[in-house]
A and B are shown apart, each in its own frame.
Chain A
Amino acid sequence: MSRERPLLGLAWLLATLPYGLGAEPADSPAALVERLNKIGREGQGNREGAAAWKKLTQAGPEGLLPILRGFDPERSPVGANWLRPAFNALAEEALRTKKLPTEELTRFVQDIKNHPAARRLAYEALLQADPRTAEKYLPGMLHDPSPELRRDAVALLLDNAQKLLQAGEKESAKFVYEKALQGACDPDQVETIADALKKWGVSVDLQKHFGVVHQWYLAAPFEHAGGSGWEVAYAPEKGVDLQATYEGKEKLVVRWLPVRTRDAQGLVDINKAIKPYKGAICYAYAEVQSPEEQSIEFRAGSINGLKIFVNGELIFAKQEYHHGMSIDQYIVKGKLKKGSNRILLKVAQNEQKEPWAQRWAFQLRLTDSVGAAIPFSQKEAK
């Protein structure tokens, strides 16, 4: 008897331990959210996911906050796309029955420690409940960590500036444009503001605003006939020496050529800077000084094959040719260390002959997660 009691006690303790440590019951909304966040690749877990989704959407308005707390598209892009429609379903029903927990959602939106994408999701439910939500909250979101909320805050200011202009209040409009510029990160909005401010003789340093890497050294052409150079680690990939010369395509002597782009979005035209070679690789090298270690986004664009190496590490590779190019075409998360950082791009040109397939170009800017320029500097080439 005396030996059974401790065993029973241990069994009880083990049975209740998870709750004691704060774990959720298996079918609680939070547990269902986690189950959806763990759905794997190629639909592994879809069947169980459907069951969890159904249960979660039967939770009523109480399911909304757990979804928001577990909503993290970076941690689980697949999970986020199970959770967003679950939130839609619950919010739709809560709006219909007028049971949307507006106070809790408002608190969630206002707490910038919450995931930016989840805050945006909550904001959209509030906006559906009350269109005045935009005017109420957006003015305070000009520097918000959510790119979408920030974009809407800028858009609201642009609307206001337009209305002021139509009312003939030009100086007030200028003030509003300048304020909008402080928060604007998306290139289309920034350029709209810069264009508007020209009317007052204000020139916006777009390169600085975007965080453009402007000072480059180019080395080309290296052999890429028939796509052969993509996997070849030519000498610059093993270490850049700006004084070095290399044997390039067709036995040409390749040297590093300094190129400073003046383009607002940082475009570097290799055809103009070097020569329009086909079936060729161009390396582009830049050094940037960072005042501290920073988690950043490398936002690149190229109409050619592109690899990005940062401090010797390959962080991005995409081989697609002549299918368009834009600023922020590729957004890659990475790090800068304190001090000098080496950025090397491998820009591959193919051999298509069509007139629309001749560009050989790239651009790069360094930003935070909303697209605002991060602090860095570059030494100008002599």
Chain B
Amino acid sequence: MRRIVRRIVGLALVFAGWGLLQAGDWTQFRGPGGSGISAEKELPTHWSKSEGLRWSVELPGRGLSNPVLAAGKVYVTACSGYRQRRLHVLCFEEKTGKKLWERQFTATGSTACHPVTNMAAPTPVTDGKAVYALFATGDLAALDAQGNLLWYRSLVGDYPEITNQVGMASSPVLAKGVLCIPMDNVGDAFLAGLDAATGQNLWKHKRKAQLNWVTPVTFPLGERTAVLFQASDLAEALDVQTGKVIWSFASPGLSTIPSPTYAEGVLYLTSGRGAVLAVKPQPDGKSEELFKAENVLAGYPSPVVYQGKLYGLTDVAVTCTDLKSGTELWKQRVEGKFSASPIIADGKLYAINEKGRGFVLDIRGDKPKILAKNDLDDKIQATPAVANGAIYLRSDNKLYCVGK
């Protein structure tokens, strides 16, 4: 019994960071574990430009990155200037929106990209002690909560063959003190594990040269913590501490845009054709394929697994799939297009379209109910963040805190 308790506590610590994080923090792309789920209760359901906002602040430039929050601070990245060569990391006080500090960097890699994206596309990750900000230029900085620079890397300076002129967007993830840097591109492609304390390589795993915008997901696999990085034809999981491949799943047509997710022993791999493939990874490297749900995704948004159901977003609908059978339970029409992934909290699904219209759906019953359509009338591509009773929405030039 004591052993089980110790293991539960150990796992909780691993996935809660290193003790500084609070239960309601939102620490990485799509929140804790990349799940898109918040344990928050009674989140706001109605807001507009003039109502329901705790605060809003101007940002110095564009970003697709979502804000991350820990220990009362909100961290945001942005890019600005001619050809997006100026990179920003900003820190705001969670309660008031007061800017606490801003640090800037100059792009050392190429800033060429498709107009839909920009250099602040990857979401930073925080453990409460530090924030780790990766930019599409391959510039990577670690700053403590007071804005002190802990370390900096120019990945394109280190590995000059890195190249992706469509623009990179995969976000870093953090587990067991290892910062996992996804760097799939058409030149020197890799997944690297960096010592979060120093920024130096612990391991660097070579990958097939290809474009890929998927964010890795960490999950427990037997006694180990694995980091899964999916690309178009292969999902591979590496031991986060050694960088050794401990599980892989080959399948043509996996997605390079929506990210996979993990829940209760199952990986939900995204397919390039809007499908989700449920696969149970085994510690011995084997896999059990559970089901394939078709037409549940489209475009950019990633799926969310919540209370036995899988939720996805297409350009025109929220989709809901039963996890036991892999069959569709319902589809609810909403107005797209969506760049941001949906998030779920307290039985409600939040989906924000590119025009800044936020749909709030009650998903507790057999059929969904639209609770609100909230207009900010602002271009929003970033996935929302949720922390401590508030929702954070980030547009091209503003950060909104929705809450009391």
Known: A89-B101, A186-B82, A318-B163. A41 touches B157 (CB 8 A): yes
In the complex, are the beta carbons of B199 and A46 less than 8 A apart? Answer: yes
Q: Which of B147, B158, B166 contacts A42 (CB 8 A)?
A: B158
Indicate if A198 sits at the interface (CB-CB under 8 A). Answer: no
Contact B165 A320 (CB under 8 A): yes
Q: A53 with B148: in contact, given A81-B141, A326-B112 (CB under 8 Å)? A: yes
Task: List chain A residues, Cβ under 8 A from B200.
Answer: 42-44, 46
- Asked if B201 contacts A43 (CB within 8 A), the reply is yes
Sample 9 A-B pairs with CB under 8 A, ordered by A number.
Answer: A42-B201, A43-B151, A43-B198, A81-B106, A81-B154, A84-B103, A88-B104, A89-B103, A323-B165
Q: Does B54 contact A (CB under 8 A)?
A: no
In the complex, which residues of chain B have a beta carbon less than 8 angstroms from the beta carbon of A148?
81-82
Complex interface: chain B residues within 8 A of A151 (CB): 82
Looking at chain B's contact residues, the main secondary structure is mixed
- Residue in A50, A80, A318, A323 whose beta carbon sits within 8 Å of that of B151 in the complex: A50
CA A149 to CA B393, docked complex, whole Å: 33
The CA of A54 and the CA of B148, in the complex, are separated in Å by 7
Write out, one digit per residue, whether chain B residues 143-165 have a CB within 8 A of any chain A CB (1) or not (0). 10001111111100110000111
Q: A92-B102, A324-B165 are in contact. List 9 more A-B contacts (CB 8 A).
A: A43-B201, A50-B148, A80-B106, A81-B105, A81-B152, A81-B154, A85-B147, A89-B101, A324-B114
Which 8 A-B pairs have CB atoms at the shortest separation, nearest pair first? A85-B103, A46-B151, A323-B165, A43-B200, A43-B199, A77-B108, A81-B105, A46-B199
Pairwise interchain contact A84-B104, C-beta atoms closer than 8 A:
yes
Residues of A within 8 A of B106 (CB): 73, 77, 80-81, 84, 117
Query: By the criterion CB–CB under 8 Å, are A42 and B153 in contact?
Result: yes
Which residues of chain A in 38-59 are interfacial with respect to chain B, using CB atoms and an 8 Å cutoff?
A: 39, 41-44, 46-47, 49-50, 53-54, 57
Determine the main DSSP class of A at the interface with B. Answer: helix
Question: Do A78 and B157 touch (CB < 8 A)?
Answer: yes
B72 at the interface (CB under 8 A from A): no
Determine the distance from Cα of A323 to Cα of B106 in the docked complex, in whole angstroms: 23
Q: How far is the CA of A80 from the CA of B211 in the complex (A)?
A: 29
Which of the four size classes fits the interface of chain B? 35 or more
A46:B152 contact, CB within 8 angstroms: yes
Residues B158 and A320 in contact, CB atoms below 8 Å apart: no
CB-CB under 8 A for A323 and B164, given A43-B151, A57-B148, A77-B108: yes
Taken together as a complex, chains A and B put the C-alpha atoms of A44 and B195 apart, in Å, by 12
Minimum CB–CB distance from B135 to chain A (whole Å) comes to 11
Closest beta carbon of chain A to B298's beta carbon, Å: 19
Partner among A85, A117, A318 whose Cβ is within 8 Å of the Cβ of B149: A85
A82 within 8 A of B: yes
A295 in the interface, Cβ–Cβ < 8 Å? no
| Assembly CA distance A186 to B200 (angstroms) | 37
Given contacts A42-B201, A43-B201, A151-B82, contact A82 B153 (CB under 8 A): no
Chain A window 114-156, contacts with chain B (Cβ cutoff 8 Å), 1 for yes, 0 for no: 0001000000000000000000000000000001100100000
For A121, give the chain B residue with the smallest CB separation: B104
Whether the Cβ atoms of B151 and A49 lie closer than 8 Å is yes
> In the complex, what residues of A have CB within 8 A of residue B153's CB?
42-43, 46
Bound-state Cα–Cα, A102 to B143, Å: 28
